[in-house]
Structure 1
Amino acid sequence: MHSAGDRIDTSTAHSARVYDYILGGKDHYLVDAEAGDAMCQHWPALPVHMLENRRFMHRAGRSLAQEHGVRQFLDIGTGLPTAPNLHEVVQEVAPESRVVYVDNDPIVLAHARALLQGSPEGATAYIDADMHDPDAILDSPEFRALIDVNEPVGLMVIGILHFILPPDDRRLVQRLLEPLPSGSFLAMTIGTADFAPEEVGRVAEEYTRQGMPMALRDLPTATSLFDGMDLVDPGVTQVHKWRPGPEQDSIDDRAIAMYGAVARKP
């Protein structure tokens, strides 16, 4: 049987490890650092953008736990464990919260198993799967053990949709929402070039060169991804403008290339 370590490809950059490098983490290889440096040269605001994407996830998760009573979460495209993680945020509100993490990078898998330990009252699990194969996620023993599909679920699709090209984006999000009951929520961030088109366009080209093609979406397209759901105030905004705290006050809109929103499944 192969361990996760056997599958790690150190010859090509991986989005989760590039993200880790740009945010100052330690779980990446030279190829990821080189890709990250090239991207930051194209757009020096990239670290700010990535951090605000992460902070949106914290605020959205806390809001779902605190204001909407959500106690179980499915987090697609977890990335490398960067504290605080989703389970730490929601278990601070409600220690009994359950979080299922999903990612497809073996380095993420190895770290997740070691680090993503929840509160004694709650539970965390990790599924080694790809968003392109939603049935592998929904049919997994971890999903079935931790997620009660009779109770609302918070589906978190953060910082991954720009790597999923149309028309797969809508189909995959809908497939993940399908088994979740009415009263569940979708929290999602969606890459855009609306605010710094030249710089973000160059970053997208660099990702494509590194074997990670991207799709960037304008506001109408981003908003349409929530069709049929009830958007929670303030609707679809740049991530730093969604229920901002004082640390978001000084952020230049041109530094953020991500829309974010939370919507309820009717």
Structure 2
Amino acid sequence: MLDQSIPNSARIHSALLGGKDYYPVDDVIAGRLAGNKITPAITESRRFARRAVSHLLNHHQIAQFAELGCGFPHTPNIHDIAEEHTSSARTLYIDNDQLAASHALALMAGHRARTAEVDLTDTVAVVEAVAATFDMSAPIAWILSGTAELNDHAPLTHALPPPTWLVLTHITADVFGHDITSAAQALRAVGIAYHS
């Protein structure tokens, strides 16, 4: 049983982006961030990831995509973009949040996409999940959009097998510093280790 009294970063993102997959506790946190520049920053971060996927498909013929920390769906999803370009595209969504992984699994019907419920800090388990899904001799795009602020991904990026493409977005306080810093502080105050 999921504890609905504990806020969760994926559900807060859903609330901030106009999604429907969150609990009242997440909505309270999102409400505190209303008007904060973190919402457009998160939106632009996701738009960049989508553009990067299209670029890799169109210019580098990448057909394997692993999204680490997929969170809750916001159309178009990575598999939507990939499969629109080529019917051979394969997508793996990885998330350790049981509810987010369940939502990702529900999207998979009729698609060449899979989901794995794995902790992103467990580098060995992440690489094993990817190896069980993809052709490891072919290029893979690893997508970290919305998770780099939550985890240290250095061990994972060092473990990635070649040939690998890394699509990484990270919200920083370089622009709108006060808003991003205060949003990060608000998230840390409720137990979400957010680093700007």
Q: Matched residues in 1 for 2:47 and 2:179: separation?
A: 22
Q: Matched residues in 2 for 1:191 and 1:53: separation?
A: 7
The residue identity in structure 2 corresponding to 1:199 is D
Counterpart in the other structure of 2:83: 91
1:149-164 mapped onto 2 (5 Å cutoff): 149-164=136-151
The residue identity in structure 1 corresponding to 2:158 is Q
Q: C-alpha deviations, 1:179-222, integer Å up to 9, x for none? A: x223x210000121011111111101001011012222xxxxxx
1:112-131 mapped onto 2 (5 Å cutoff): 112-117=104-109, 119=111, 123-131=112-120
**In structure 1, which of residues 59, 69, 78 is the aligned counterpart of residue 51 of structure 2?**
59
1:1-266 mapped onto 2 (5 Å cutoff): 6=1, 8-41=2-35, 43=36, 45-117=37-109, 119=111, 123-140=112-129, 143-164=130-151, 168-175=152-159, 177=160, 180-182=161-163, 184-216=164-196
How much does 1:35 deviate? 0.7
- The structure with the largest alpha-carbon Rg is 1
Tell me, which stretches of 5 or more residues in structure 2 are unaligned?
none
Give TM-score, length-normalised by structure 1: 0.70
Report if aligned partners of 1:88, 1:118 keep a CA contact under 8 Å in 2: no
Q: Matched residues in 1 for 2:84 and 2:194: separation?
A: 34
Tell me, which stretches of 5 or more residues in structure 1 are unaligned?
1-5, 217-266
How much does 1:171 deviate? 2.1
3-state DSSP class of the match of 2:170? strand
Give TM-score, length-normalised by structure 2: 0.94
How many residues of Structure 1 are paired with residues of Structure 2 in the alignment? 196
Q: Matched residues in 1 for 2:57 and 2:109: separation?
A: 18
Is the alpha carbon distance of 1:60 and 1:117 closer, same or farther for their aligned partners in structure 2, counting shifts above 3 Å? farther
Counterpart in the other structure of 1:223: none
The residue identity in structure 2 corresponding to 1:133 is D
Q: Matched residues in 1 for 2:153 and 2:103: separation?
A: 27
Cα RMSD for the two superposed structures: 1.4
Q: C-alpha deviations, 1:94-133, integer Å up to 9, x for none? A: 11101111011111122111123454xxx21101012101
